[in-house]
């Protein structure tokens, strides 16, 4: 109801006149009439908020709800299908073939039968294809490793998004509490000024200045309230859980932090780098597949006949050994080898570039986090000094040693110090997880 009153206070400049025409005698009473006439929110349509959600709970919900992670799971299934295809190309193939041939003939001998049926069990076994199947199997294995690494990286990036939204929502709510505390302090200040004005110890301008400051805080409160709604909607979008109530903040595992050199030494273990390394190995196997076109292909075919007609009726089986030696193909195979080799070199260059970018990411993230920690410690001292300064200013004002403007300025400085400390504190927590993700080291416990 307090928030509703504050919101209506900002809007009643356009609402009070019609209410006065309806019988409200003045501005403030018109607002009270509007509050009294506001229908209550139906309780039967209100859903129970989900409370005490920790960061791990939100992340688990986001993993289940994320379409991106689901797509990566399907890609793993797709690569599994490719593995079965590559493995099956090296195995023998068996089929039962039935043919019914009808031709023009008298049917008086085995050479001019009208109907020539043939039923057979056919087997085909590749013996040598230039190691193509083995290269294909190795390539699919690397594809599977790469896709698994990409999925791990996607999960890490999703966690970073969830952590950012999680701490942003807590920060907005804590900021609202700070403004509410400052507002209560200012209300008490205004009541004191009213009493001092009644006794003739304060000027009316001092009371007006304090009330103007209160209106600015009310306006800032409404702005922050809208930002809290945006952060809340972002959390609901990421987690798929609604409505989200209170959040439970757990201590950060700061003991898991190492120095910068430790993170840089493990840069090759980052999931996206492992995925790119697997892609490079896949490209290398594609070179071997293309080179198989230079080698002869050898296969063995066999057939067992269950029914034959004519002169072949007494032959139950036969085998055929096929050897295909490439002599000239117009440069087609050589061109395919060059193309595959170029793709492999590109993949290697991309791997090297990604390692350099990952190193830069880690250094930047580490420097930002260290600066955030030092700034948070410094702002904690600033906030303590601002609180002490405000208390001294209030006492000195009561002794007529300072004026009201100086007290309001001190109160504004205290408000700014508290909010800046809060912002830096939660920004540092976000930078902590950003450093962990930059290093590819997601440890929640």
Cβ 224 vs Cβ 175: under 8 Å = yes
Work out the pLDDT band at 17, boundaries 50, 70, 90.
very low
Residue-wise pLDDT for 252-294, tens only, equals 766 446 688 888 888 888 999 999 999 999 999 999 888 888 8
Closest by alpha carbon to 189, among 28, 343, 407, 418?
407
Collect all residues with Cβ–Cβ distance below 8 Å to 417 and sequence separation of at least 6.
Answer: 379, 382, 383, 385, 386, 387
Question: Is residue 34, in this structure, part of any structural domain at all?
Answer: no
> pLDDT-based confidence at 7, cuts 50/70/90?
very low
Burial class of residue 210, CB neighbours in 10 A (0-12, 13-18, 19+) = buried
**Cα–Cα distances in angstroms (integers) from residue 405 to residues 234, 354, 410, in the given order:** 40, 57, 9
Residue 52: CB atoms within 10 A of its CB come to 9
Q: Which CATH number is 155's domain given?
A: 1.20.1600.10
- Asked whether residue 139 is assigned to any structural domain, the reply reads yes
Do the domain assignments include residue 60?
A: yes
**Average predicted confidence (pLDDT) for the chain:** 81
The pLDDT of residue 43 is 42
Residue 136 lies in a domain: yes
Q: How confident is the model at residue 408 (pLDDT cuts 50, 70, 90)?
A: confident
**36 belongs to a structural domain:** no
> What is the rounded distance in angstroms from the CA atom of residue 369 to the CA atom of residue 256?
14
Output the CA–CA distances (angstroms, integers) from residue 348 to 136, 232, 271, 320, 415, in the order listed: 19, 43, 16, 44, 54
* Cis peptide, bond prior to residue 243, ω within 30 of zero: yes
* Residue 73 pLDDT class (50, 70, 90 cuts): confident
pLDDT at 32 over 50: no
Q: What pLDDT was estimated at residue 36?
A: 40
Listed in sequence order, the residues at least 6 apart from 330 whose beta carbon sits closer than 8 Å to its beta carbon are none
368 Cβ contact partners less than 8 Å away, ≥ 6 residues apart: 431, 434, 435
Consecutive H or E run containing 127: strand 115-128
Lowest mean pLDDT among 105-114, 211-220, 346-355: 105-114
What CA–CA distance (Å, rounded) separates 261 from 362?
Answer: 10
The whole-angstrom separation of Cα 75 and Cα 92 is 28
Flag whether pLDDT at 120 surpasses 60.
Answer: yes
| pLDDT for residue 331 is more than 80 | yes
Task: Report if residue 135 sits inside a domain.
Answer: yes
Asked if residue 124 belongs to a domain, the reply is yes
pLDDT digits (tens, 9 = 90+) for 171-200: 999 999 999 988 988 888 888 888 878 877
CA dist list (Å): 150 to 58, 136, 410: 21, 21, 53
DSSP letters for 388-409: HHHHHHHHHHHTTSS-HHHHHH
pLDDT at 6: 43
Residue 68 pLDDT: 83
- Residue-wise pLDDT for 149-179, tens only, equals 999 999 999 999 999 999 999 999 999 999 9
Alpha-helix runs per DSSP H in 43-131: 55-65, 67-88
| 329 within domain boundaries | yes
| Pairwise pLDDT comparison (259 vs 381), residue with the higher score | 381
* pLDDT score at 38: 38
When divided into structural domains, the chain yields a total of 1
- The answer to whether the CB of 176 falls within 8 A of the CB of 224 is yes
Residue 2's CB is within 10 A of a number of other CB atoms, namely 8
Full residue range of the structural domain in which residue 186 is found: 47-438
pLDDT of residue 254: 60
Confidence of residue 375 (pLDDT cuts 50, 70, 90): very high
Strands (E), 251-366: 297-307, 317-324
Contacts of 260 (CB under 8 A, 6+ apart): 362, 363, 366
Tens-place pLDDT, residues 81-101: 877 777 777 778 888 888 887
pLDDT value of residue 350:
95
d(CA 388, CA 216): 23
Q: What CA–CA distance (Å, rounded) separates 346 from 348?
A: 5
Q: Percentage helix, strand, coil, to 5, in the chain?
A: 70, 10, 20
């Amino acid at each position: 109801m307090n928030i509703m009153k504050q919101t209506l206070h900002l809007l009643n400049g356009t609402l009070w006149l019609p209410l006065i025409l309806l019988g409200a005698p003045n501005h403030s009473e018109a607002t009270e009439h509007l509050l009294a006439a506001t229908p209550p929110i139906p309780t039967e349509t209100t859903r129970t908020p989900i409370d005490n959600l920790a960061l791990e709970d939100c992340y688990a919900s986001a993993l289940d709800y994320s379409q991106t992670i689901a797509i990566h799971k399907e890609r793993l299934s797709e690569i599994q299908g490719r593995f079965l295809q590559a493995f099956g190309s090296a195995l023998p193939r068996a089929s039962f073939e039935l043919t019914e041939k009808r031709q023009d003939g008298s049917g008086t001998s085995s050479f001019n039968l009208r109907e020539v049926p043939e039923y057979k069990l056919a087997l085909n076994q590749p013996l040598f294809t230039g190691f193509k199947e083995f290269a294909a199997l190795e390539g699919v294995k690397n594809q599977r490793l790469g896709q698994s690494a990409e999925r791990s990286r996607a999960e890490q990036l999703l966690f970073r998004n969830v952590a950012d939204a999680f701490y942003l929502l807590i920060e907005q709510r804590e900021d609202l509490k700070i403004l509410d505390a400052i507002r209560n302090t200012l209300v008490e200040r205004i009541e004191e000024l009213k009493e001092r004005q009644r006794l003739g110890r304060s000027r009316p301008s001092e009371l007006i200045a304090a009330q103007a400051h209160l209106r600015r805080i009310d306006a800032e409160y409404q702005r922050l309230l809208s930002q809290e709604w945006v952060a809340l909607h972002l959390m609901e979008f990421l987690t798929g859980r609604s409505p989200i109530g209170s959040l439970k903040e757990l201590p950060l595992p700061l003991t898991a932090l190492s120095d910068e050199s430790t993170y840089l030494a493990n840069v090759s273990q980052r999931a996206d780098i492992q995925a790119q390394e697997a892609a490079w190995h896949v490209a290398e196997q594609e070179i071997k597949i293309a080179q198989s076109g230079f080698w002869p292909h050898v296969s063995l075919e066999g057939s067992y006949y269950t029914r034959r007609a004519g002169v072949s009726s007494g032959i139950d089986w036969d085998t055929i050994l096929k050897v295909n030696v490439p002599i000239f193909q117009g440069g087609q195979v050589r061109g395919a080898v060059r193309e595959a080799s170029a793709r492999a070199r590109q993949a290697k260059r991309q791997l090297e570039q990604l390692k350099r970018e990952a190193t830069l990411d880690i250094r930047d993230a580490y420097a930002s986090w260290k600066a955030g920690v030092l700034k948070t410690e410094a702002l904690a001292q600033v906030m303590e000094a601002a609180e002490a300064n405000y208390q001294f200013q209030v006492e000195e004002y009561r002794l007529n040693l300072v004026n009201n403007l100086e007290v309001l300025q001190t109160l504004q400085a205290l408000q700014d110090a508290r909010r800046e400390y809060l912002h830096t504190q939660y920004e540092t927590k976000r930078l902590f997880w950003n450093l962990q993700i930059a290093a590819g080291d997601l440890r929640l416990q």
